Amino acid sequence: MKKITWLISLIVLVSLLLTACGGGAQSHLEKIKQAGVIKVGTSADYPPFEYVDENGNKAGFDIELMEEIAKRMGVKVEWVDMPFDSLIAGVQEGKIDCSISAFNYTEERDKVVDFSEAYYTAEDAFLVAETFTGSITKPEDVAQYKVGVQSGTTQDDWLTNVLQIPEQNLSRYDRADQAALDLKSGRIDVMMADAIPAKALAQKIGGLKIVYTGVLSSGPMNIVLPDGDTELAQAINDILKQLQQEGFIDQLAQKYFTE
Amino acid sequence: MTDSPYILQAKNLTKIYGENVIFKDISLDVKKGETIVIIGPSGTGKSTLLRCLNLLTPVNSGQIFLEGEEITAHGVDHDQVRQKIGMVFQNFLLFNHLTALGNVMIGLTKVKKMPTEKAKQKALHELERVGLADRAHHYPAQLSGGQQQRVAIARALAMDPLVMLFDEPTSALDPELIGEVLGVMEQLAHEHMTMLVVTHEMGFAREVADRIIFMEKGRIVEQGSPEELFEHPQHARTREFLGKISELYGKKEKK
Amino acid sequence: MINQFFAYILQGTSVTVAVTLVALPLGLILGLLFALIYNYGGFWVSRFAAVYSLVMRGVPPIALLFILYFLLSGQMVNLSPFWAGSISLGIISSAYQMEILRGALQAVGEGQMIAARAIGMTRLQAIRYIIIPQAIRLAIPPWSNEASIVLKDSSLVYAIGVPEILRRAQQLSATTQQPFLAFGAAALIYFVLVFLVNRGLDLLAEKTKLPASMA
Ligand SMILES: Nc1ncnc2c1ncn2[C@@H]1O[C@H](COP(=O)(O)OP(=O)(O)OP(=O)(O)O)[C@@H](O)[C@H]1O
Ligand SMILES: [Mg+2]
């Protein structure tokens, strides 16, 4: 028993020494700036947030946002593509500097990593025809109507699994605009979508209105940062605030969530 | 010590496997150039004795001397000793992945570190000695039993051993193939190779052996020249065994 | 479009091949070492080899990969994802290759060792010049199987950020919503790779095959 305690303290000591030698007095942020590169993990299989376009390049809302953040930090992004489940471990163990991958805050994750301020909150909206006579005052109300949704989206997931809407009342579409057209023609009563594209669709197609907006199918999104790395968190939060004020994030949302 | 008249000497060898005493206090003196045939019933410890003599199996007590040097002493390099004692097995045990030539060469190149070309010449010479120069590039599977055993003899001879041990070299052979192997052995005897042969081939024993040893139950019962043993055996057990063996192997003896 | 699509997935092939080229020989060297100490080592070392085999065959490759990459790498040595992945797979494979070689070594037979010792070879010489050349021949067919498994398992490195064939297929499946096409392309590439490996080893087996026994 004693021997083991002794051994463990030796290992701890050695690793401390090693870290000390490698690290010096430099902070994480300083190291990133000195290297001129920030290693950012993402799981590029979640369009439109992060994906690989037909040329094999990374693209998406998160990707472009992070590139802009890095630019303002004066560094370049080195993208590290990992499956979603590996990203937290990657940040935790310092294999990547941070991760942006449409992460929502959860308490379990917060135990091992830190989160930036929310950079985007995906709001959902219920869209109806202007002639709609029913009443939707709270989200549960949609369960009594015929609902349309783009298949495979977080809204689809929410309607199916949280609201558990009967299958015969749910129509799934490949594209959001198909659903909007069916809404106008009366084949469905309500359509659920991301708030930003929903607004854009209502304008484009005409004769539609939004009856409810709220955060339902997904929460605010945050960048995942190493536990206790307040300096990096501060730097990123400051830039996020600027981007928000300048309307950069809204523009990005328009670009990626409206079609 | 070194100018001992005996090339191989065993003193009071005892071998025990677990509870089984295989043989006890066996002593044996082999003169240079002598051909000794060991006979005896199955399970008597003949094979075990041969394996002890070339240190493939350790003895429990006793000493073995090769050219007067004790090879059972501490610190003796067994691998070096085995180079000087050739062994031929009942089931040939050729290296399956090597040709006849390769089988004979490998001891020369890997153990004696002889240059390849020189080893090849020597190996071919040894194959010629056993009449198989034309089979040099055949693999064991492509050779008959008799041919395989002759390659095995050539493989042992290539190491220039001081003594050759044969453990029933013809018992696994079809009757028509026995002659060619015995022929090679007879020729070796004429060339004054020192040989210890365990065999049931009484014809060979009678004609080639300088001395015959009759072993039973881990003891040497009787030994002497072929004439002494075959014509005037001293012990009843020897007579009995010889009677049985000529009954069993009588037909083969005619060669 | 389809062309680019396929080309993107195909680029992952170099990763798959590179990981396999590290993992398989590493597994062979370790596996042979452990098979030898299992068969010829003393009591304790051979016990150790047996336990090694048991443990490594029991560990899911992904677990070892995570331990090596996320936990160990960075403490003592700094392993890139590629090396961490290749080494983990090599270690796991070594346990399977050990079992293959252990069987092959045993199948060579006691007699070959005795005959080798009888002409004065040391144990090591006998193992090297007599036992191993025969065992390797016996091991090629089952080894070919193991090679295919390592080739396919190499996709695991995507879990720590090395984008090989399968990961690229996943990405394109997400982008294009055409999983059938994306994974079909990946499967096709794997099929070709496995086919080539097996064919290659068949040829090797054919080339090194010893002549059959006389009729
Ligand atoms: N490795 C071993 N472990 C235990 N016992 C053994 C071993 N080798 C041989 N024996 C036993 O030793 C005894 C003598 O065997 P050995 O092979 O020396 O007899 P042999 O005289 O050569 O008989 P055969 O004519 O059948 O070849 C036998 O009872 C055998 O079972
Ligand atoms: Mg015997």
Count Cβ atoms within 10 A of the Cβ of residue A136 and give its class: 0-12 exposed, 13-18 middle, 19 or more buried: middle
The conformation of residue A187, written as its DSSP 8-state character, comes to S
Contacts of A100 (CB under 8 A, 6+ apart): A40, A41, A42, A50, A62, A63, A65, A66, A223, A224
Residue of chain B nearest C118, judged by CA positions: B82
Question: Is C89 within 8 Å of C153 (Cβ atoms)?
Answer: yes
Token pair of B20 as six digits? 């089984």
Q: Which of C175, C177, C183 would best serve as a mutation to test chain A binding (most A beta carbons within 10 A)?
A: C175
C66 vs A contacts (CB less than 8 Å): 89
CA atoms in the 13 A half-sphere facing the CB of C35? 27
- The answer to the question of residue A111 being in a domain is yes
B23 forms bridges with which residues in the sheet?
B15
**Nearest one of A218, C119, A171 to B112, comparing CA atoms:** C119
CA of A229 to the centre of ligand 2 (A): 79
Residues A134, A151 within the same domain: yes
Residues A35, A91 within the same domain: yes
Residues A139, A94 within the same domain: no
User: Long-range contact list for B218-226, CB < 8 A, 24+ apart?
Assistant: B218/B15, B218/B21, B218/B22, B218/B23, B218/B24, B218/B26, B218/B44, B218/B45, B219/B23, B219/B24, B219/B26, B220/B26, B220/B27, B220/B28, B221/B40
Structure confidence at residue B219 (pLDDT): 92
Straight-line distance from the first to the last Cα atom of chain C, in angstroms, rounded to the nearest whole number: 60
**Nearest one of C134, B30, C170, C140 to A43, comparing CA atoms:** C170
CA of B46 to the centre of ligand 2 (A): 6
The conformation of residue A50, written as its DSSP 8-state character, comes to B
Average pLDDT on A108-125 reads 91
Residues A167, A242 within the same domain: no
**How far is it, in rounded angstroms, from Cα A134 to Cα B127?**
105
**How far is it, in rounded angstroms, from Cα B117 to Cα B188?**
26
Residue recorded with tokens 């690290």: A23
Residue recorded with tokens 């071919």: B124
**How far is it, in rounded angstroms, from Cα C103 to Cα C46?**
14
Q: Which of C108, C119, C131 would best serve as a mutation to test chain B binding (most B beta carbons within 10 A)?
A: C119
pLDDT tens digits for range C69-115: 888 877 677 888 999 999 999 999 999 999 999 999 999 989 999 99
Residue of chain A nearest C166, judged by CA positions: A83
Residues A226, A114 within the same domain: yes
CA of B207 to the centre of ligand 2 (A): 22
Residue A89 belongs to a domain with what CATH number? 3.40.190.10
Structure confidence at residue B254 (pLDDT): 44
Structure confidence at residue B3 (pLDDT): 63
Q: Report the atom number in ligand 1 closest to the C-alpha of B51.
A: 18
C142 forms bridges with which residues in the sheet?
none
- The answer to the question of residue A71 being in a domain is yes
**How far is it, in rounded angstroms, from Cα A249 to Cα A129?**
29
The pLDDT confidence band at residue A203, using thresholds 50, 70 and 90, is: confident
Residues A32, A116 within the same domain: yes
The pLDDT confidence band at residue A24, using thresholds 50, 70 and 90, is: low
Residue A153: domain span: 124-214
Count Cβ atoms within 10 A of the Cβ of residue A246 and give its class: 0-12 exposed, 13-18 middle, 19 or more buried: exposed
* SS3 assignment, position B72: coil
Residue of chain B nearest C108, judged by CA positions: B96
| φ and ψ of A221, to 5 deg | -105, 140
CA of B45 to the centre of ligand 2 (A): 7
Average pLDDT on C12-30 reads 95
B111 vs C contacts (CB less than 8 Å): 119-121, 125
Average pLDDT on C141-164 reads 92
Residues A54, A116 within the same domain: yes
Average pLDDT on A12-30 reads 60
A90 near C CB under 8 A: yes
Residues A157, A47 within the same domain: no
The pLDDT confidence band at residue A14, using thresholds 50, 70 and 90, is: very low
Confidence check: pLDDT of A1 > 50: no
**CB contact (8 A) between residue A45 and residue C174:** yes
Residues A78, A140 within the same domain: no
**How far is it, in rounded angstroms, from Cα A57 to Cα B80?**
68
Helix H or strand E segment including A99: strand A98-104
Helix H or strand E segment including C97: helix C81-108
Structure confidence at residue C163 (pLDDT): 86
Torsion angle of the four alpha carbons A199, A204, A207, A210, in this order, in degrees rounded to the nearest 10: 0
Residue recorded with tokens 């590179």: C18
The phi-psi region of residue B41 (left if phi > 0; otherwise alpha if psi is between -120 and 50; otherwise beta) is beta
Q: Report the atom number in ligand 1 closest to the C-alpha of B45.
A: 18
Q: Report the atom number in ligand 1 closest to the C-alpha of B42.
A: 25
Residues A112, A153 within the same domain: no
| Strand order through the sheet with A190-194 | A170-173, A147-150, A190-194, A124-129, A208-214
What's the full length of chain B, in residues? 255
- The answer to the question of residue A143 being in a domain is yes
pLDDT tens digits for range A168-182: 999 998 878 888 889
Token pair of C156 as six digits? 């695991």
Residues A52, A82 within the same domain: yes
**Nearest one of A102, A173, A160, A174 to C178, comparing CA atoms:** A174
Residue nearest to atom 3 of ligand 1 (CA): B17
- The answer to the question of residue A108 being in a domain is yes
Confidence check: pLDDT of C48 > 90: yes
Interface residue ranges in chain C relative to chain B, Cβ cutoff 8 Å: 111-112, 114-122, 125, 129-130, 133-134, 137, 210-214
- The answer to the question of residue A82 being in a domain is yes
Q: What is the amino acid identity at position C123?
A: R
**How far is it, in rounded angstroms, from Cα B251 to Cα B235?**
25
The pLDDT confidence band at residue A20, using thresholds 50, 70 and 90, is: very low
- The answer to the question of residue A129 being in a domain is yes
- The answer to the question of residue A17 being in a domain is no
User: How distant is the alpha carbon of residue A107 from its chain centre?
Assistant: 16
Nearest to A86 among C1, C160, C168 (CB): C160
pLDDT tens digits for range C106-140: 999 899 999 999 999 999 999 999 999 999 999 99
Structure confidence at residue B22 (pLDDT): 94
Structure confidence at residue C203 (pLDDT): 95
Straight-line distance from the first to the last Cα atom of chain B, in angstroms, rounded to the nearest whole number: 43
- The answer to the question of residue A14 being in a domain is no
Count Cβ atoms within 10 A of the Cβ of residue B244 and give its class: 0-12 exposed, 13-18 middle, 19 or more buried: exposed
**CB contact (8 A) between residue C119 and residue B56:** no
Average pLDDT, chain A: 86
Q: Using CB atoms, which chains have 3+ pairs under 8 A with A? A: C
pLDDT tens digits for range A210-248: 999 999 888 889 999 999 999 999 999 999 999 999 999
Question: Mean pLDDT, consecutive 10-residue segments, chain B of 255 residues?
Answer: 79 94 94 95 94 95 95 94 96 96 97 97 96 96 96 97 97 94 96 96 93 94 93 91 77 46
Torsion angle of the four alpha carbons A179, A181, A183, A187, in this order, in degrees rounded to the nearest 10: -90
CA distance A209 to chain C (A): 29
Number of domains present in the structure of chain A: 2
Residue recorded with tokens 């920030």: A38
Residues A112, A233 within the same domain: yes
Count of Cβ atoms closer than 10 Å to residue C210 Cβ: 15
**CB contact (8 A) between residue C120 and residue B111:** yes
Structure confidence at residue B252 (pLDDT): 47
User: How distant is the alpha carbon of residue A16 from its chain centre?
Assistant: 35
Count of Cβ atoms closer than 10 Å to residue A168 Cβ: 7
Structure confidence at residue C214 (pLDDT): 58
